[in-house]
Structure 1
């Protein structure tokens, strides 16, 4: 029997927009109208009450390629207009572009709304909300959801359509040209770069950014928006997706491959030899660039980064702060450190979410790629490739991730009990790494090789996530029986993933 789940609320809203045999839709035009009403109340509380009452409040809305997007957008627009809000419909857009709709003078939106559920399956959709100050927090989302009451200001909201992506692309191009001004009007001439948009909203990048800068984009794939995602999951953290762009780079003998997630707030790359630049490798590339421009800066990451990455950042003269997973968490940590006077230029997760201080503290996959494009002409002049930037980054011999389901209604409390017990356990060759702010991180030594493990709670799901890395082949196989015996003492954990290894 199909289940109706509650909407998932964090720094955005996510739900089932297309009913399936397993799930009843819980994000429909009805919920969109309620969210629109809550948004109006929220914006009024943020100092825009007079603007709303005078009929001048302006909201921009965009969507990714999901099949439910047009219907949900129509309902949202209608609800806003009925309540006297002026709407700019950008239609197909990206998450970072929707934030920029609040910054670009020609739009000057008081809020930007993006309909997306990132890399989740086609039947999901969601709502991301930006004000001029940036993305909202979880408490803001909960406030919006708690205030579905209809508002009136005696105005009928206006409606117009506009092309946001072309303006956003031109802004990226201008920034790249400014950074590569010594290399002419088309600084990427001679570069062959293939793009994989995964049938999401990122297909524009090939034509409107790369080709304008002179790059050859032949061999780019899945640029057409298709919310059924027929080729692969649009997720730079997904092995199948990364294998797809890697194959395209090698087949085309390209200089670089670029892959985006559905709404283009994440990206990853592939070097000319097929080297995958995501997770720790992407963090290292961006850290190298940042530390060249800002010597001694601090880089904030989420907790599941390798010990080798920390060594690499220190070698480049920087500092790493490992923080709680979740892109808003690492971004907020960067903002807090800068407020304390600690020069922090980059916040990035292993999933590919990356925000630069210089770019509104905004997680923007297209800007990540733009930042790298700014370096390419100089690298070519020096006879280097993008992978040369991280030749000093050591790679682990083996890695493993296991996700353990918690069969307990109060899963966060139960999961924390497991984490605390592992921290207190006295295993030979396991030692706590106190330079960590999420879950428990243990350093591994003899008789278990040289490496580390991290046990943490999933942000949204009833799961414990175990990640293990080792620099000696065959050592994870020795670690797992110790951990399985430990986890077996917790009867509400599903240990099936262990038994499949």
Structure 2
């Protein structure tokens, strides 16, 4: 029988349950994953999706039939699998999640020893082939499943990134969006002085308030209204598996993740002079400017968590960030966290009495305005990329780290194709010129759409 592996992507597995991801696929992954990473001990967990427990049961059956000792940390966020993998020194970790996809989806993310990511170039293609092939014989030793609550160890590790004693009783709107962050925030609250205004705290795989993905403007309204209504100092929202957090200032204005990257880079460089910071090429002038002014070394890397994590390890970067609100930390095994960033912001706010969130970011937002990522459906992405390069490449400085980036004296753009769809993604950035930003964005969109 042919096994449907269409859910395998570039960085993880995602599909509709039970059509393209189901118990049969989960079992086969369990049987073959130990071969990929020579695993004897694997940590597993799931987010709040309804299909998670059934998929995890099948996955664990496959792992134990392969002779693995399975540590099940239960319902959790993706970064808790990262943490458990390096903290408990397991040979690998598997998180059952579909992040911000609709509720009918589910998927898996994989890491090996040390929480190193597994993507297409680091083993995911091999895993796919193993799953499609004949399963190996069952182990003569059946592995065991151990339930382990790692919440307290995880929370204490996350809190170690800030000086809790210096935090002030600021008012924070917290919105997990009925995702996995709610229970963790309840535990963290015991150790923090903050006044939490809580929204959508109960984990619910039916997503009664909509799928939590605050990158989409229509998913921000609840947080914005609450910040204004309760006159909060800041609003914070998370996606379903809380590996990303999203910041709103005291007026309810959404702060683009790009500016958070620069902010966190500065914070780390002030504590670690001369450190290396990794960023992605979609928009980066603000980050590079901040890193250089603070004596750091900026390194630009292709976007995507497997690329960023590898580059950070290669150059021993203390921090890396993407405009998509993924933030990576060396002391977190170079993994991304949706809990560490907001704590660092709160630490600075606590040490700057009278300063509000909007003041932390206003100057940089005015200095380097951005278009935001604009997706365009096209018939032939490669042809569009070539046409744009032919038109602009000779006039500016070209980079092909990720798609094509072209830089001019006071503006730049990045154009790249989607890994999974016939889409072209455009980002434009200028230096202190919103009018030029609008002009060049419209100009590029006209060229792309005429080609598409």
User: Does TM, normalized by the shorter one, top 0.5?
Assistant: yes
Aligned pair count reads: 442
Larger radius of gyration: 1
For residue 393 of structure 1, report the CA deviation from its aligned partner. 0.9
**CA–CA distance in 2 between the matches of 1:128 and 1:88?**
16
Q: Which residue of structure 2 lines up, in the alignment, with residue 402 of structure 1?
A: 374
**CA–CA distance in 2 between the matches of 1:188 and 1:112?**
33
Q: Which residue of structure 2 lines up, in the alignment, with residue 377 of structure 1?
A: 350
Q: 1:129 aligns with which of 96, 110, 127?
A: 110
Structure 1: gaps spanning 5 or more residues: 19-24, 49-56, 339-343, 408-413, 494-501
**CA–CA distance in 2 between the matches of 1:169 and 1:397?**
35
Q: Which residue of structure 1 lines up, in the alignment, with residue 417 of structure 2?
A: 457
Deviations 1:158-216 (A, max 9, x none): 2232222233123323x15xx426x3xxx545222221111111112321113322222
For residue 221 of structure 1, report the CA deviation from its aligned partner. 0.8
Q: Which residue of structure 1 lines up, in the alignment, with residue 153 of structure 2?
A: 167
Higher relative contact order (CA 8 A, sep 6+): 2
For residue 264 of structure 1, report the CA deviation from its aligned partner. 1.6
Output the aligned Cα RMSD: 2.7
Matches within 5 A, 1:324-473: 324-338=302-316, 344-380=317-353, 383-395=354-366, 399=371, 401-407=373-379, 414-425=380-391, 431-434=395-398, 437-443=401-407, 451-469=411-429, 472=433
Residues 236 and 266 of structure 1 are in contact (CA less than 8 Å); yes or no, is this contact kept in structure 2?
A: no
TM-score using structure 1 length: 0.80
**CA–CA distance in 1 between the matches of 2:446 and 2:248?**
39
Q: Which residue of structure 1 lines up, in the alignment, with residue 289 of structure 2?
A: 311
For residue 306 of structure 1, report the CA deviation from its aligned partner. 5.0
Deviations 1:395-424 (A, max 9, x none): 3566254322243xxxxxx53343233212
Deviations 1:44-83 (A, max 9, x none): 2xxx5xxxxxxxx222211011121111111111222233
Structure 2: gaps spanning 5 or more residues: none
Q: 1:95 aligns with which of 47, 61, 78?
A: 78
TM-score using structure 2 length: 0.88
**CA–CA distance in 1 between the matches of 2:55 and 2:405?**
42
Per the alignment, do residues 435 and 313 of structure 1 end up closer, same or farther by CA in structure 2, a change over 3 Å counting?
A: farther
Q: 2:274 aligns with which of 276, 291, 296?
A: 296
**CA–CA distance in 2 between the matches of 1:481 and 1:157?**
59
For residue 387 of structure 1, report the CA deviation from its aligned partner. 4.3
Residues 304 and 454 of structure 1 are in contact (CA less than 8 Å); yes or no, is this contact kept in structure 2?
A: yes
Q: Which residue of structure 1 lines up, in the alignment, with residue 140 of structure 2?
A: 154
